[in-house]
Amino acid sequence: MNKITSEKIKRFTAKPSFDEKIILSNNISYPKISVVTPSYNQGEFLERTILSVLNQNYPNLEYIIIDGESDDRSVEIIKKYEKYISYWVSEKDKGQGDALNKGFSRATGDIIGWQNSDDVYLPGAFRKAVDAFKKNDADIVFGNRLKINEEEKTSRRFKFTPFYLISYWYCRMSLSNQSTFWKRELFSEIGMIDVNLSFIMDYDFFLRAGIKNKKFEHIESFLGAFRIHQGSKTSTFDGKIIKSQHDLLDKRYGKKGYLKIPFKAYSVLRDSFYYIFKGDFRSLIYLLPFYIKPVFFLILLLFLYYLGYDPK
């Protein structure tokens, strides 16, 4: 497997490298992929996002860009590639979730993807995802993800583990929109984006799929990268708002607070064994912060056992 380097990402998103005949062919022997990009004043990075989609050189692509009436170079950039974009609009909206739902409502593909206007897909992402859908009767396919900066320099590699609802819900988010694709019919079963969840809309979307017992398929390839920069949404996270939104979901879906520590302990051990089995000790190190509360919980249980405490 060829390693995705910062230089490869930079070359892949620097200029058009697609075959026009191929991406405009609408070859129905391939499942149609619809990609939606919500955008607002990301002119510095938008062209790289667009090229990461077009340079997949995929022969049955529907690309939709929903811009929130940007006042930078965004519209100019979109028009530059207008010939290859199935639909785009630049108008005021109610935020990222609203823009996504507008795009998803227009999507006609068999497979759906969502890429933000400052993030990118990695080389070969579409074909790898399609192969995974063909080999497995999955509703959702997700791969690993990179973290990059303004110059495409990689600062971290997120190697996810196979999806397990308990781990996702009680421990940590184990997939991300930058490297995830799903079948369009999923919308009819779980709905679209909750526009009221400004910071955790993606978490909620995939959580609903998990609660509905949809089948997730993890592939070990890196499919996408999210970018951290001064103006990114991630860099402006408000901890209080995020907590309030998570509290709302906990109440909505009936999360049991008393199960949080034991389920988190189980999830951390599960992921740890997965990484050990794969020989991936770097990812194992990233799990260390998640050990603190579960380890304390286990020590407490052992201490009570030592004292002869009978929980009955």
Q: Is 143 helix (H, G, I), strand (E, B) or coil?
A: strand
Please state the pTM of the whole predicted model: 0.91
Q: Which of 134, 135, 143, 116 is nearest to 53 (CA)?
A: 116
Instruction: Give the CA distances from residue 35 to residues 138, 228, 311, in Å, rounded to whole numbers and listed in that order.
Output: 18, 21, 53
Residue whose token pair is 């599960």: 270
Give the chain's mean pLDDT: 92
Tell me, what's the pLDDT at 287?
82
Domain spans in the chain, listed from the N-terminal domain onward: 6-255, 258-306
Q: How far apart are CA 118 and CA 48, in angstroms?
A: 8
Instruction: Give the CA distances from residue 227 to residues 11, 24, 44, in Å, rounded to whole numbers and listed in that order.
Output: 16, 29, 12
Segment 272-295, tens digit of pLDDT: 899 999 999 889 888 877 766 666
Q: How far apart are CA 62 and CA 106, in angstroms?
A: 10
Segment 111-133, tens digit of pLDDT: 999 999 999 999 999 999 999 99
DSSP collapsed to 3 states, 7-24 = HHHHHHCCCCCCCHHHHC
Segment 218-274, tens digit of pLDDT: 999 999 999 998 765 655 566 789 999 999 999 999 999 888 888 988 898 899 899
Q: How far apart are CA 131 and CA 156, in angstroms?
A: 26
Segment 52-82, tens digit of pLDDT: 999 999 999 999 999 999 999 999 999 999 9
Q: Is 191 helix (H, G, I), strand (E, B) or coil?
A: coil
Domain at 6-255: CATH architecture: Alpha-Beta Complex (3.90)
Q: How far apart are CA 19 and CA 44, in angstroms?
A: 25
